[in-house]
Each structure stands twice: as structure tokens, then as C-alpha cells.
Amino acid sequence: MKTWKKNLVAAAVLVTVCAGIYVNWLYTEAQTTADLADTLDGEKILSQDMLVMSDDGGLLETNGTTVNDYFAAVRLSRQEARDSAVGLLQEAMAYDTNTDSAATNQQLETLVQTALCEAQIESLIIAKGYTDCVAYISDKGISVAVATPEGGLVDADIAVIADIVMTQSDYTMEDIYVVEVQ
């Protein structure tokens, strides 16, 4: 008698779960998925334009897209230079067994910290409402190239950018160079 009651309870639970799944399926099928163009501005939807690399390493224009993007070119060249430096340091660490590799490890750590600091500064400047920027840290200081906003960069813009740089790095106002890119 006990097994009969257990089987009846299990069957009732199974039927209830199946009914819930069926009702859920009916409910979601009745709702239509909203079109992406209806929910976003037309400007925010990516177009079908493409950029194509030419044989000499430059960018070509395709489908009316402006390809003279200063910021993308600077980021690409900076990343290539870093990748090359990291590769050389890793080779030096692999082949140099006679000397202490602490100096090489320190150089590698410095490269990584510099890249992270630049990325943080760029992200924060863009978050403040500027269209685009690129930061480059060197021994002499930090250069920040910013896309020119309407009306150009004013003293308040320079102060905001300098504040971001000083909070994210150890540089002082004298070490910060802000460049407008038009």
C-alpha cells in the first residue's frame, strides 16, 4: 500500500511539473521578441562597414568608413612595441642562466604595470565623456592625446584629465602633457 501512495505522489508531481513547463512555453511563444532597431537608437547599431588592412600595413577605406583613426593606430603600434619588448625579455630570461633574472623580471613587471596604468587612465577619461583618448607613459612623463570636444579643450578639461592621471599614477602636473587630436 505504501508503494502505491509513493507512486501516486511521484506521478502527481511529474504531471504538475510538465503542466508548468507547457504553460510557460505557451506564454513565451505568444510574446514576440522585440527588434533591436526598435529598442536602440539607429546611431548605436553597428553598421555593416568594414576596415581592410592593405599590404603596407595601413588601413583602407571600405563602405564609406573613415579609416584615418589616429587612436586605433597609436594603440596598435603601442601594443606591437610592447609585445616585441615582452618577447625579447622572455627570450633573455630563457637563455640567460648565468645571471640573476631579477632585473629581467622587474622590467617585465614594469611593462605590465605601465600597460595597466595607461588602460585605466584611458578608461576613466572616456568615462568622463570624452570621445576617445590614448595615454602613453615614458620616462619623461605621461602624454595624453584626447579627441577634441566641441569648442576645444578648455582649462577645466585639462584639470579633469590631469586629476585622473595624478590619481592613477605617481606623476605630478609638470609631468603631464595633454594633446588635442583634431
The full DSSP string for 98-158 is SS-THHHHHHHHHHHHHHHHHHHHHHHHHHTT-S-EEEEE-SS-EEEEEEPPTT---HHHH
Q: Please count the residues of the chain.
A: 182
Angle between helices 102-127 and 70-95 (to 10 degrees): 160
Please answer whether residues 105 and 94 qualify as being in contact, where contact means their C-beta atoms are separated by less than 8 angstroms.
no
pLDDT band per the 50, 70, 90 thresholds, residue 23: confident
Report pLDDT for 15: 78
Query: Is the confidence at residue 66, as pLDDT, over 70?
Result: no
Query: Is the confidence at residue 46, as pLDDT, over 70?
Result: no
pLDDT, tens digit (0-9, with 9 covering 90-100), for 28-37: 665 554 444 4
